[in-house]
Amino acid sequence: MDSEICPSTSSSNAANLLLRFHNQQAKHDGPRVAVGAIPEHLLEDVEQCPAKFSFPRDEILDHINDAWPKIEKFITDTDDECKALEEELYQEKSDNCQL
């Protein structure tokens, strides 16, 4: 079928995504969400035996659905903190202008 992906291609894509995530996380200087470390040996394992790290689409979607409420809460909490800090900064600026 055209919609089926070869397991080695799928695994290669997963390895690339893991590597890109690892590299992005290393570059990121701001607050981090702990989603699990990706040890170098895991990336090597993925490259050596990609079929071992091939997951069915439904399983991946199930895990995303399980994780989404936590991600959504983090985004909401971060947004609330940002708004509070912006309000505090605005208030400090107002107080400084009155001096």
Q: What is the pLDDT of residues 40-99, one digit of tens each?
A: 777 777 788 777 777 788 888 888 899 999 999 999 999 999 999 999 999 888 888 876
Dig out the tokens for 68 from the structure: 């989404």
In this structure, the chain runs to a length of: 99
Hey, which of 15-19, 31-35, 62-66 has the most confident mean pLDDT?
62-66
Note the pLDDT of residue 30.
54
Give the model's pLDDT for residue 43.
Answer: 74
- Residues in Cβ contact with 42 at an 8 Å cutoff, skipping those fewer than 6 apart: 18
